[in-house]
Chains A and B, each alone.
Chain A
Amino acid sequence: MEDRLTEIVPSRGRKGDLIPILQRIQAEFGYLPEEAIVKVAESTGVAESRVFGVASFYAQFRFTPMGRNRVMVCRGTACHVKGAPRILDEVEKALEIKEGETRQDLEYTLESVACIGCCGLAPCIMVNKEVHGRLTTKEISDIFTTRGECDAG
């Protein structure tokens, strides 16, 4: 990890680059490891507490490892009025984890997001980069079983 961090974090970063640096670290590791926060603080000259303060302010950053597959349930208004809460219930059942959690086998992380921006396809969820739209609760378990990764679940 140390080597890769050295590659990503410039030895003397500008203060204004803090968020882009954190974004690059998360793109690499899937989350912000503690060592990374320390490293960024050294590089930019911003106190560790402030780096953490910035990272914790924004919804994008996470401090725990992410599952191999990321499932995002859209909670946008259009999805909400077309049944997003029930879709979320169903996904929670299918993956056997609650919103915001990662499965112990690190196969899935389940999040709910403000809006994916595919309101014309409401209700929708996003599995990694793939959007599944116009969903009904009945279709949820198929999405994960056909992926073949949830059979044990």
Chain B
Amino acid sequence: MPDKTVLVCQGTGCVSAGAEQIHISLEREIAQLGLGGDVQVKRTGCHGFCQQGPLAVVEPEGIFCTRVKVEDTPDIAQSLLSQKKPPERLFYRDPLTGKVIPHYRDIAFYSRQQRTVLKNCGYIDPEEIDDYLAVGGYEALRQTLLEMSPEEVIDTVKRSGLRGLGGGGFPTGRKWESCRNTAGAEKYVVCNADEGDPGAFQDRSVLEGDCHSVLEGMIIAGYAVGAKLGYIYVRAEYPLAVKRLEIAIAQAREKGFLGKNILGNDFDFDIEIFQGAGAFVCGESTALVLSLEGKRGMPKPLPRPRTTQVGLWDKPTLLNNVKTFASIRWIITQGADWFAGRGTKKSKGTAIFSLTGKTANCGLIEVPMGISLREIVFDIGGGIPGGKAFKAVQTGGPSGGCLPAELLDTPVDFDSLTDAGAMMGSGGMVVVDEDTCMVDLARYFLDFTQKESCGQCSLCVLGTLQMLDILNSITEGRGRPEDIDLLMELGEAIKMGSICGLGQTAPNPVITTIRYFREEYEAHIYERKCPARVCKDLISYRILPDKCKACMICLRECPVQAITGGKKQIHVIDQDGCTRCGVCLSVCPERFSAVECIPGRLDNTLHSA
């Protein structure tokens, strides 16, 4: 048994930054030093702290090496030989205090989390079923098949209080019960892994890091509802997740967890992978089912039966999200009461978020339900870097909303977020600072949903287009005073006039930004200014005469020759010719910092003022 293990994260983020080469090089260095018997180098799934990647963790101490490069691997191997810590340059440095922290347990990003679903992500090799078995994998399945009736399984899930983690928050146990109680010899279990929200990657991380936990949850679900076949509907854009799922399914079949007479019981179950071809609306259950059948993924018209009654090929179908299935094994082995004992009264257990945007620490986090947004942004996320001011946190992606600083103490659970106008959604959490324009952000989300509207409901497909036109005109400086009320009116109408979640939530980003950041809309409309200096038509660049050293750099780099001046002659931007591309600002040497970007449009006569 090796004394030490070096875990090399192989999540998509780390792989894209060279983690595979690091793994190979580290193995070679360790072999060369003759440490092969004492030190094991292991590939793992996403460790969560993507921003600091590529990551390598030395266990059992839990020493955390960040931004590792191939050139660092000899030093890491040498440190293992001499029984010392790896070089300090690799340790995490607290962005606020500058303190060097060698153990990941002491880093606020990790210490404030409560990892359950993500517990084994980053610790086990997702391509080795034995690794999963070593951490108690498939124990829940064994317990289910040997000791529990399907009714008991459903009762346990119901008592746990687990709610669907795909965004809707529907009680999972009730869904299972409804599927079980629907008559029919043929039933299906479907795992929704069509994670299409821009800014969310937690489903992918679970699939890449601990895919057997999802399979185990699906098999237990199959037993509970009486299904023999399961499908994983996974985005084709996630090739690594698809590859690891294929490996995991093959291994599970080999070990007898999938196939005929599972664990010697009179229960057959198998799982197939279906690669989604890219349509955001397929996150809606009836649309996803049609897509699985090889059709256009358009939500079925109302009134529609539940998929638990009429689903895939018109058979009863149980559809749950990746994280919901991954939670099941813990509920079975630890008990419903254990699960229900965490979180809040109405939202049990933990929530997983992809924390991204303008926080010092970005990555995948799992927190107890009920934690405040403030704790997530400032404790786990480490606050806003660069001395900038926090402006808003966006949850729920294109269906969610933007919450301002006043609401930072909102507890993170299904109901509180919905009451505030946002939503849990599939778990994207994007933090924005003073440099983000809220009108532009609303326009960005609406542009996304507008393109993804399936086209069935006129209010959704045409209404969002009207809203988008209005938002475009506001950001381009053509906004009219009545536009704000018109946006609100359209938003309410679209919510009422759409048959699926996409249309019903598409106006949320616009409505919440108007509700909480109305003054930004007003600045765009009345003052023709973009206070965050984002909207190109509502900003200006100027050269500060007292700082300009007439170095000619911006003058040469300006793509439209809008800068005049010369050697020893202070440069001036011709405001009529300027396209506000920002090149002058980015090329002006930092020691001069003579170019500034200001809200509003200057004209040439005012420029010298």
Contacts and interface: CB of A to CB of B under 8 A. Distances in A.
Interface of A: 15-20, 22-23, 44, 46, 53-54, 57-61, 75-78, 80-82, 86, 89, 113-122, 124, 129-133, 137-138
Given A57-B296, A86-B582, A81 B275 contact: no
A120 B356 contact: yes
A120 B12 CA distance: 10
Interface in B278-311: 278-280, 291-298
28 contacts: A17-B294, A19-B294, A20-B274, A44-B294, A54-B294, A54-B296, A58-B279, A60-B236, A60-B277, A61-B277, A75-B448, A77-B430, A77-B444, A78-B199, A78-B362, A80-B444, A81-B441, A82-B358, A86-B582, A115-B198, A115-B201, A117-B237, A119-B200, A119-B354, A124-B16, A129-B239, A131-B12, A132-B16
Contacts of B432: 81
A77 B394 contact: yes
B17 interface: yes
Could you say which of A16, A53, A130 has the most chain B C-beta atoms within 10 Å of its C-beta?
Answer: A16
B553 to A, nearest CB: 13
A8 B565 CA distance: 64
Contact of A133 (B16, B201, B358, B444): B16
7 shortest interchain CB distances as A-B pairs? A120-B50, A131-B16, A77-B199, A18-B294, A59-B278, A58-B277, A78-B356
B563 to A, nearest CB: 18
A56 to B, nearest CB: 9
Given A117-B237, A121-B50, A77 B586 contact: no
A58 B278 contact: yes
A76 B586 contact: no
B182 interface: no
Interface string B195-238: 11111110010000000000000000000000000000000111
A137 B354 CA distance: 25
Nearest to A61: B277
A86 B597 CA distance: 15
Nearest to A55: B277
Contact of B280 (A18, A114, A124, A132): A114
B357 interface: yes
Contacts of B192: none
B13 interface: yes
A113 B237 contact: yes
A119 B199 contact: yes
A114 B236 CA distance: 13
Contact of B17 (A113, A122, A133): A133
A127 B573 CA distance: 36
B126 interface: no
B53 interface: yes
A118 B356 CA distance: 10
Nearest to B291: A19
A118 B582 contact: no
Contacts of A82: 357-358
B397 interface: yes
Given A76-B198, A115-B197, A121 B294 contact: no
Given A78-B362, A115-B196, A119-B354, 15 more contacts: A15-B293, A53-B296, A58-B279, A77-B430, A77-B445, A78-B356, A116-B237, A117-B200, A117-B201, A117-B238, A119-B200, A119-B362, A120-B51, A122-B356, A133-B17
A23 B480 CA distance: 46
B531 interface: no
A54 B448 CA distance: 20
Given A77-B198, A78-B357, A117-B204, A15 B362 contact: no
Interface string B385-400: 0000000001001000
A23 B17 contact: no
B279 A119 contact: no
B363 interface: yes
B456 to A, nearest CB: 12
Contacts of B12: 116-118, 131
Contacts of A19: 274-275, 277, 291, 294
B436 interface: yes
A59 to B, nearest CB: 3
Contacts of A17: 294
Interface in B1-40: 12-13, 16-17
B370 interface: no
B428 interface: yes
Nearest to B435: A81
Contacts of B363: 120
Contacts of B238: 117
Contact of A81 (B201, B295, B357, B454): B357
Contact of B356 (A59, A75, A77): A77
A138 B293 contact: no
B294 A15 contact: yes
A76 B12 CA distance: 15
A24 to B, nearest CB: 10
B543 to A, nearest CB: 20
Contacts of B196: 114-115
B275 A16 contact: no
Contacts of A113: 237
A30 to B, nearest CB: 14
A53 B586 CA distance: 46
A113 to B, nearest CB: 7
Contacts of A132: 16
B515 to A, nearest CB: 19
Contacts of A46: 294
A120 B362 contact: yes
Given A23-B275, A130-B16, A57 B297 contact: yes
